[in-house]
Structure 1
């Protein structure tokens, strides 16, 4: 199925990917179907009338949780004047519902045989992603008088799809059918309900703990309206920026994920289709991006991650005391420990970033109670940095997977297998210490020192953290600096040899504050120089490096989230013009994606392609891409909490015009921020 014909609707824990006719014909390795809790509950959902497939006239998926498909019988190549119209309206929200309407435009009555082929392979999302479908349990199909029950059973692990209809239907093992008679200009319709059931140990339905607001379309609509109403309003002369901001807010609402048995609170899921679940790194970075706009999401993220913080040493899950999880899954492969994601702790950046978010959250909200509530979890995270992450014993955070079967090799944000290399293209041995993670550790210790001094009543601990941070900064600037290139190495190998390639990771060092000021200008020049900056954004790996590939996942593509933090870091060190250049490029790119920035796009030079080139398997929507326009807005307006107030120091890109951000929430209540940029380049006078 081509990407252009894909229609996606979602609501946190549940999503549907179909063709533009509304039909679902999934292969075992294709991410189409109805998914929930990391499993596919519908893999076949095909509508026919009198044995004939339908042709799409158009579809509408303007709301993230619903779609409408306008269809006629027959193929487009021989369409003249259809005598029937077919409308499929569907919505997700904890379950799946489809309203089917058929209208007879003929002058004569018609008799119709309407059939929906329905099937479920109950593929685990990991099996779909890895293109391996190996079911070890029993699939079953049980037609009843008033419903069709599709199911999968393996031990006490049970998943079921229960299909029922408001109009009487005939159910069989492969689907259900109706025989109807329509007079001229008559209409027939039925509501089809698809309920997903996930039974765990003890026979408990795991879905009982999920958000209940999505049970009805009206509730979803009201929920979205309230979400938008509570967010700051953005008014701007740059119309595309306004529409991109609104698209991001709506997508962020769609990506709210409610972990099982944690009270229905929501945090951002990482992205559709592969990562509709809880991720430590992704959720934290998204919350950092969106704090000025949706601060409550940070509250639940911090609490949920703290509740699942590591407490023991477990090599299968790569768990340590104090470590923040990487990923949580609920599918079959996780349940039977064929994957370690229950949860899996294999990331080295989520733990220091947890402390960073807690401090940034308090600066914005003034929520001292949460800082005190999470004191022990924060101390445990800092202890993990010192006691468990320093695998070499030289004061850096290192990683080397302990689960050698299914664990991640690279446990930084660039987690593909070939993302860390030397200048000659060879891959270094393990353990590895990537540069940006050392910056996160430095930032975490500096921020925790503030929290210890102001909220935990422990000035001695604060002093110690500041000394350790200063030592780390000095050591880092000595060991990671590449003299012949004047940039920081991507990583160190266990012998201290530099992975001496120029990468976007150096931009993260700026927002962490670990860069010596006398080197910051050179870093800024690299970030907007021709090797890294394409015109649309900063590439993950610089042009000219051996492993550079403009469509290499972490070796040359442009990641919008990456760029948003780079822009923020540039502002921190006073490089407002360079920050504006990056913001302008990413926001320009967003217009080519209808305001929805994907996970990544090609790193080709802007003058070569004239438009940003899509990366074929990029998640969309994706949480930290959704958060990108919000962090760029913060960066362009220079919004920073300062001594209990909101400081505003705008530096807009040329052409941006006037921007108003109204009702920015924080410890100050709600305030407005205004900025005006030059609409065009001013000609020199004299």
Structure 2
């Protein structure tokens, strides 16, 4: 995931996300709007700590590295701090501590209410501060805002050292405004425009202060707007209240075309609601349509693999997202051989970055293609998008890109012509491991030795298998019968050869990978769950793999470990060698359900649900540690995990789809439920505003002793509902 690795001491690990200090025990507060995001503490502050990821970021750069509120020199006491359920606003209730003057108590604690709310409307942060005096005497309050900006690139924040930086510009100060600036080595002018919407008593390049006199039950309101400006950009005219109105309208518009789920379980509803809101927040409008940025803070940018998997997870409930992902990735598909970017004709993007370091080539990720799996997954998404929507015209428009992706699989993806897709980096600065587990030490043999390249990953062969079958379906729809016939033949050969080459009879699972010498990496790992997800596994092997994935050495009680306990490189605190990733477990659950193991899929659903109950805001992070679940304790957090993360947010929707056996047949059109099941803690589930073909439908599902009943509560259009029990 974006090149985070395990061993910071190695020279190969330049893209390591450093954790030189532990995060604060208090949870971060995250807001995002398009290409702007903010990470604040529970007070709404940004601490000026070099090792902290707190800040206001725009376009991959920190525009505000310090912003703290002080009243009479003190930090107010927290009463409550929360992000609204729709992620539109941070609301913080505070009060003043006991304040003394010459040993005399002048403001008793709890007598002044301090309310702070923050919203983001890209490229600006809008703040409202309200102070109310509930005491029986007049109070004088000196309100200070302290601020600074260091204009660090997100990779500097991650821990990458730069030998040289650009120039900090002299601040521009007026009676109510401070403009900080930086001219990067890329020539770009970046400015932080801080507007105080009143006339402060004092203002300089790092602080603004105002003394307010509040009578009994008096109150005062202050507003601050902080805008992140690049060369030539004008200061936004939108104010706090207009920003709130625009955000509300934007959320309502986005939700109008998306299905909505509610259940009998309020805690489950909280998980659903937070996941949906996080996806709404992470989705960014690009020139090619909506795209889910991977995660905040380290991956708030387009990632090919992450975008595809998020779109697959949510395809049944928000298909327009998949269309945006396909369109964006088609437009950015590689056209030529560029070894420094690991690009080859037809290959799908790994990630795209803005920011000074990307512009200068100090990192290879401005537009980088070092991923082995995004290309077959691109075809998989296109195939499932057609099954969901029947949008033939769109598929015809992207078919040339599908052809080019198929050609990449056969020509560049298969290094040695053995029928398997492998990878090895061409770029000296690129990623060594190019599957979704992209830590440098994530592919290894039973003795712990690293697998030499080129590496053929277990899950990638499954992606290629399903890509060819789905491409065959699309080829037939478009009248390309010879393509379809050839692709099905190739898929059948790949399935046979995969099961022969990757199956580990002694471990009851598939090998993690084949190394460059075609030796099996005999390791129990979660990758095998992806083989079930794609259907490449023989049924008897799938049964044995299912048992292995849910055994106690693999299943932590919360989810499936990336590497099973007892394997040579197992470490429950590692990034990829023993941790639990919600999206990885959800993909395995989909695979288990595909082979009929609904009970095991529901076990994963339950584990991740119960993890969400323990976590702040009921938000599943990018990953958490793989320690065995203990009674009464929640999951152990990973210190630098992104939260929110798109494919962690999408996991709940994929898990529900797997348990319900939900699929679509656009030619009828028909919604199908294959052996639907609900866990014991969900008595009923309602799906409303589910759009399909030209219609919309609302469904009510009720759990009975031996099956799930489905009633149509509303239907517009000619939509059938079929249930196999």
Q: 1:331 to 1:76 in 2, by over 3 A?
A: farther
Establish whether residue 388 from structure 1 lines up as the match of residue 412 from structure 2: yes
Q: How far apart are 1:292 and its partner, in Å?
A: 1.2
Question: How far apart are the structure 1 equivalents of 2:239 and 2:496?
Answer: 51
> What does the per-residue CA deviation read over 1:78-98, in whole Å, with 9 as the maximum and x for residues that have no partner?
994344332222111201111
Q: What's 2:249 paired with?
A: 222
Which shows bigger deviation, 288-297 or 82-91?
82-91
Q: Does the CA contact (< 8 Å) of 1:55 and 1:76 recur in 2?
A: no
Establish whether residue 338 from structure 1 lines up as the match of residue 393 from structure 2: no
Q: How far apart are 1:452 and its partner, in Å?
A: 0.8
Q: How far apart are 1:161 and its partner, in Å?
A: 0.6
Q: What's 1:670 paired with?
A: 696
> What does the per-residue CA deviation read over 1:51-77, in whole Å, with 9 as the maximum and x for residues that have no partner?
333332222322413112223334799
Establish whether residue 248 from structure 1 lines up as the match of residue 270 from structure 2: no
Q: What's 2:264 paired with?
A: 237
Match of 2:403 among 371, 375, 379: 379
Q: How far apart are 1:598 and its partner, in Å?
A: 1.6
Q: 1:417 to 1:257 in 2, by over 3 A?
A: same
Establish whether residue 505 from structure 1 lines up as the match of residue 530 from structure 2: no
SS of match in other structure, 2:352: coil
Q: What's 1:597 paired with?
A: 620
Establish whether residue 487 from structure 1 lines up as the match of residue 512 from structure 2: no
Superposed counterparts of 1:411-422, under 5 Å: 411-422=434-445
Q: 1:50 to 1:235 in 2, by over 3 A?
A: closer
Runs of 4+ residues deviating >6 angstroms? 75-79, 211-215
Q: How far apart are 1:287 and its partner, in Å?
A: 0.4
Q: Does the CA contact (< 8 Å) of 1:536 and 1:585 recur in 2?
A: yes
Question: What is the TM-score of this pair, normalised by structure 1?
Answer: 0.92
Q: What's 2:77 paired with?
A: 55
Question: How far apart are the structure 1 equivalents of 2:38 and 2:705?
Answer: 42
Q: What's 1:136 paired with?
A: 165
Question: How far apart are the structure 2 equivalents of 1:75 and 1:539?
Answer: 49
Question: How far apart are the structure 2 equivalents of 1:562 and 1:630?
Answer: 13
SS of match in other structure, 2:369: coil
Establish whether residue 102 from structure 1 lines up as the match of residue 135 from structure 2: no
SS of match in other structure, 1:582: helix
Question: How far apart are the structure 2 equivalents of 1:160 and 1:573?
Answer: 55
SS of match in other structure, 1:587: helix
Establish whether residue 171 from structure 1 lines up as the match of residue 171 from structure 2: no
Establish whether residue 539 from structure 1 lines up as the match of residue 561 from structure 2: yes
Superposed counterparts of 1:190-205, under 5 Å: 190-199=222-231, 205=233
Question: What is the TM-score of this pair, normalised by structure 2?
Answer: 0.88
Question: How far apart are the structure 1 equivalents of 2:335 and 2:240?
Answer: 33
Q: 1:190 to 1:206 in 2, by over 3 A?
A: closer
Q: What's 1:684 paired with?
A: none
SS of match in other structure, 1:442: helix
Question: How far apart are the structure 2 equivalents of 1:655 and 1:365?
Answer: 32
Q: 1:215 to 1:555 in 2, by over 3 A?
A: farther
Q: CA RMSD in A?
A: 2.6
Q: Does the CA contact (< 8 Å) of 2:549 and 2:555 recur in 1?
A: yes
Match of 2:60 among 38, 45, 48: 38
Structure 2 gaps, min length 5: 1-22, 708-725
Superposed counterparts of 1:63-212, under 5 Å: 63-74=86-97, 80-94=108-122, 95-130=124-159, 132=161, 136-140=165-169, 141-155=171-185, 156-169=187-200, 170-199=202-231, 205=233
Q: How far apart are 1:671 and its partner, in Å?
A: 3.0
Q: 1:241 to 1:349 in 2, by over 3 A?
A: same
Question: How far apart are the structure 1 equivalents of 2:301 and 2:61?
Answer: 12
Q: Does the CA contact (< 8 Å) of 1:655 and 1:680 recur in 2?
A: no
Q: 1:212 to 1:148 in 2, by over 3 A?
A: closer
Which shows bigger deviation, 358-367 or 83-92?
83-92
> What does the per-residue CA deviation read over 1:85-142, in whole Å, with 9 as the maximum and x for residues that have no partner?
3222211120111112223344444444322111100111111112536551111222
Q: How far apart are 1:674 and its partner, in Å?
A: 4.4
Match of 1:578 among 600, 609, 617: 600
Q: How far apart are 1:678 and its partner, in Å?
A: 5.7
Q: How far apart are 1:267 and its partner, in Å?
A: 1.0
Which shows bigger deviation, 429-438 or 658-667?
658-667
Question: How far apart are the structure 1 equivalents of 2:68 and 2:636?
Answer: 32
